[in-house]
Amino acid sequence: MSQNNPVYANAELAADAVAALLWRLETQLDEAFATGGELLAALPRARSAARLPAIAGQQAFEVFGQAILAIGAARGHTVAGHRVIEKLGRQIGYETSFGDEQPKPDVIPSGVDASHLRVAA
């Protein structure tokens, strides 16, 4: 495709928009994961400072722990989706930056079943 072609320009703008949103999602998931970890670390300290028994806040600790696991799974799915988007870009002959420029390993992050993800050509 010629870069003077308006369809190509629209595809480039769309790809750049997707790349920016993907980068933002990955960053926000990392921030949520880090914040959740800080919250989990603060809970036992707060319980101890308030001189409450170990059972106090246990249910909240378990529920927040599950939330952190869900964020980790969401992050894994996002990474798998990132790889699918990059592969699609290569297949259609358009490459853009979808975040960091480091090569991605061929392994799927543990805990993520990405077997159902594929690129339709």
* pLDDT, mean over the chain: 81
Of 80, 87, 98, the closest CA to residue 27 belongs to: 98
Residue 13 pLDDT greater than 60, yes or no: yes
Q: How many domains does the chain have?
A: 1
pLDDT, one tens digit per residue, over 48-67 is: 999 999 999 999 999 999 99
Residue bearing the bigger pLDDT, 7 or 65 = 65
Evaluate whether 11 touches 94 at the Cβ level (below 8 Å): yes
User: Could you tell me if residue 96 is inside a domain?
Assistant: no
**CA-to-CA distance for 65 and 71, rounded, in angstroms?**
10
pLDDT, one tens digit per residue, over 17-36 is: 888 999 999 999 999 999 99
How much is the pTM?
Answer: 0.69
Host domain of residue 43: 6-91
User: Could you tell me if residue 110 is inside a domain?
Assistant: no
User: Could you tell me if residue 103 is inside a domain?
Assistant: no
